[in-house]
């Protein structure tokens, strides 16, 4: 399915309500991947009991960089699994 999106002066894009309600219900963080065809936006879905849930992770964007802070620390293997999931690789 395709959606037409509008961009505001601040660069914000509103995700379609139908998609938010079905695919991204309760999700507050997204990953935007720059592809040859354009921008791919994916919800970053983490179970509440997962160590990388919002309660433990803070994301900051500064220009071209994204900084992730783990308030309680993190097992490196969890990070590797999440990166693979984001990249679309099977775990």
Boundaries of domain holding 24: 1-45
My answer on whether 40 and 50 are in the same domain is no
pLDDT at residue 67 in the model: 75
pLDDT at residue 54 in the model: 59
My answer on whether 28 and 50 are in the same domain is no
pTM over 0.85: no
My answer on whether 20 and 55 are in the same domain is no
Asked whether 60 and 66 are in contact (CB, 8 A), the reply is yes
Per-residue pLDDT of the chain (91 residues; tens, 9 = 90+): 788 888 899 988 888 888 778 776 777 777 788 889 988 888 776 666 665 665 667 777 777 777 777 777 777 887 788 778 777 765 5
The secondary structure of the chain in percent helix, strand, coil, rounded to multiples of 5, reads 20, 30, 55
18: tokens are: 């139908």
pLDDT at residue 80 in the model: 84
Beta strands in the chain (DSSP E): 30-35, 38-43, 57-62, 65-70
My answer on whether 16 and 37 are in the same domain is yes
């Amino acid at each position: 399915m395709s959606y037409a999106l509008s961009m505001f002066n601040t660069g914000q894009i509103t995700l379609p309500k139908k998609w938010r309600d079905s695919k991204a219900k309760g999700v507050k963080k997204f990953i935007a991947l720059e592809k040859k065809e354009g921008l791919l936006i994916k919800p970053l879905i983490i179970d509440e009991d997962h160590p990388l849930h919002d309660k433990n992770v803070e994301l900051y964007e500064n220009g071209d960089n994204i900084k992730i802070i783990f308030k309680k620390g993190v097992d490196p293997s969890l990070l590797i699994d999440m990166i693979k999931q984001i990249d679309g690789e099977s775990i």
